[in-house]
Amino acid sequence: MDASRIDYNAIVDSWIEQLEQSASDATQLESLFLSESYWRDALALTWDIQTLCNPAEICDILASALKATGATDFKIDQLDNPPALVSRVGTDTIESFFTFQTKTGRNRGIVRLCPDASDGGAYKAWTILTTLEELKGFEEKQGANRPTGKSYSRGFHGPNWLDQRQAANAYADHEPTVVIIGGGQAGLATSARLTQLGIDNLIVDKHERIGDNWRNRYHSLTLHNQVKVNHMPYMPFPLTWPTYIPKDMLANWFEAYVDAMELNYWAGTEVVDGEYDDTAQHWKLNLKKSDGSTRTLKPRHIVMATGASGIANIPKIPTIENYKGPIQHSSTYKNGIQWKGKKVLVFGTGSSGHDIAQDLHSNGADVTMIQRSSTMIVDIEPSAQLPYAFYDSGPSVDDCDLIALSMPVPLARRAHVEFTRQTTEIDKVMLDGLKKVGFKLDYGDENTGWQFKYLTHGGGYYFNVGCSDLLIEGKVGLLQYDQIETFSTNGVTLEDGTSLEADLVVLATGYKPQEAVVEQLFGENVAERIGPIWGFGDGLELRNMYCRTNQPGLWFIAGSLAQCRINSKFLGLQIKALDEDLIR
């Protein structure tokens, strides 16, 4: 078939027209979907973030949802990306952005159509995404809806902008509707979204300065994802910024972001504990500031933005108590300057373990990495960037975010198996070199690669920026954990009887899951009520992330800058809809 002769607009128009005409009839709707099909909805039609598979399941729920929400006015979104033939997960498909309206919202989506060979080549939906863009009557305060300036006095006697900002941030005479715990990318993105929706919110963070959650990390840290995918909501990074952002550059941007986006932020503030009042439907949250003062707030919502993990994991390593030298977790490691000429053991071969080992070596330390479990290694370029190639393909960041959101987990897994196959070919020389020195490699569950290792386990991979080369060249040593017989006063004794001295042991052993943070702050009952956080379990969405949980008023957001940029929008819209009684 000559693709140049196909009228993509006409095909998509016809499908959309049939969708709207068949809206309340599940049987008719089913004829519009392939036997393998997926629908992902983000609040537009179900007030949930969920993925459904197969036509029968999709159309049963879709028919009632279209009718209940009054969905109408489906149109191709021609503004930037007209319908086009693209390749997704190795499949040629017509991809089209579209818009529609419901009683409460303006919505946007993506549909992918493929010919059905069993039905005369009729074009049917392979995947469809429906997302809530904005709530009618509660539009974000940007663009045409931006503040006019009348809210800030031009007189010489009243409070000016700075006075009003300081009063808002002090909370001397009012309570925040939402308290966000954690001031990294997750907390800032969420606060920005809520602020634009007119929801009073406060970020609290234990660090003394905005951005310290990045600024205080080890000296050599640089982001491993390229700048093109890492922008914050509303304020993209400057075009002059480097491809890989240094930690201090990002930290300083966070500080400027809080000021520019008019976010309320209490630095040096630690959450002591919290308790939910079921009758009053708000929290009692006890805070302690670095100056020793305390404050109790009563927000209706708490957003946990402490990351996919928050408490350092210090595993019980047999006989480590024999070692009398310094031991530190990777979360407290700064740089290797003071360890020049010293011997260091680094437990763990994930990203932190590799980066710390490379930093120590660069500062003249004699480093040996100890591998406890197999690890996936991917060269940072080009291999690690393959999943983000479409961010360079022309669409805006917002449209690329929608494309990313539109890919259901089963197809994303399939795509990442292919990415993994490609990376093992591209990185073959490096991977063979690692095998030769005894490094244990893996490629993720069922070869789904590094991204699903992150989404499922929170880590277990490393983007090579040089440490793998050091291991291959023997400049950084490698031991398998099972080679260690016992710890000694000044190092370890190996099974073959040899000894390895250490002036420092670094535990790059990761973090406990978020459930541990919840239990620490809110108690065992709340943690049990919510259940597992992060990972997929048996489902097709991350557990308890970006959505309502079994604990009223408690929300979770975590992930990369891109994940937080995308999903903070839906978290904010849900809170707004609840507070305006649009949903219950």
Over residues 23-50, the pLDDT tens digits come to: 878 889 999 999 999 999 999 999 999 9
Q: How many CA atoms lie within 13 A of 375 on its CB side?
A: 29
Please compute the mean of the pLDDT values over residues 331-360 and round it to a whole number.
95
| Predicted pLDDT of residue 79 | 76
Is the pLDDT assigned to residue 365 strictly greater than 90? yes
CA distances from 502 to 189, 356, 365, 444, 560 (A): 42, 15, 11, 32, 35
The per-residue pLDDT for 1 is 44
* Tokens standing for residue 545: 């992330």
Structural domains for the chain: 3-135 (3.10.450.50), 172-310+512-579 (3.50.50.60), 314-509 (3.50.50.60)
Strands 264-266 vs 201-204: parallel, antiparallel or unpaired: parallel
Q: Taking residues 69-86, what's their average pLDDT?
A: 92
pLDDT digits 0-9 by tens, 465-481: 999 999 999 999 999 99
The residues pairing with 130 across neighbouring beta strands, listed in sequence order, are 41, 109
For residue 555, give Cα distances in angstroms to 46, 202, 547, 550, 581. 18, 14, 7, 10, 18
Check whether 230 has a pLDDT greater than 70.
Answer: yes
What's the whole-model pTM score?
0.94
At residue 158, the pLDDT reads: 79
Provide the 8-state DSSP code for 232.
Answer: P
Residue 112, pLDDT above cutoff 80: yes
Distance between CA 354 and CA 9 in Å, rounded?
A: 50
Contact 208, 290 (CB under 8 A): yes
Query: Which tens digits make up the pLDDT trace of 262-278?
Result: 999 999 999 999 999 99
Q: Taking residues 417-437, what's their average pLDDT?
A: 98
Q: Is the pLDDT of residue 4 over 70?
A: no
Q: Specify the pairing of strand 461-464 against strand 376-379.
A: parallel
Averaged confidence pLDDT in the chain: 94
- How confident is the model over 168-200, as pLDDT tens digits? 999 999 999 999 999 999 999 999 999 999 999
Q: Per-residue pLDDT tens for 135-173?
A: 999 999 888 888 776 555 566 677 889 999 999 999 999
pLDDT, one tens digit per residue, over 498-546 is 999 999 999 999 999 899 999 999 999 999 999 999 999 989 999 999 9
Tens of pLDDT, residue by residue over 245-254, are 999 999 999 9
Whether residue 110 has pLDDT greater than 80 = yes
260: nearest Cα among 192, 360, 316:
192
Q: Any alpha helices (H) in 237-373, and if so which ranges?
A: 247-260, 351-362
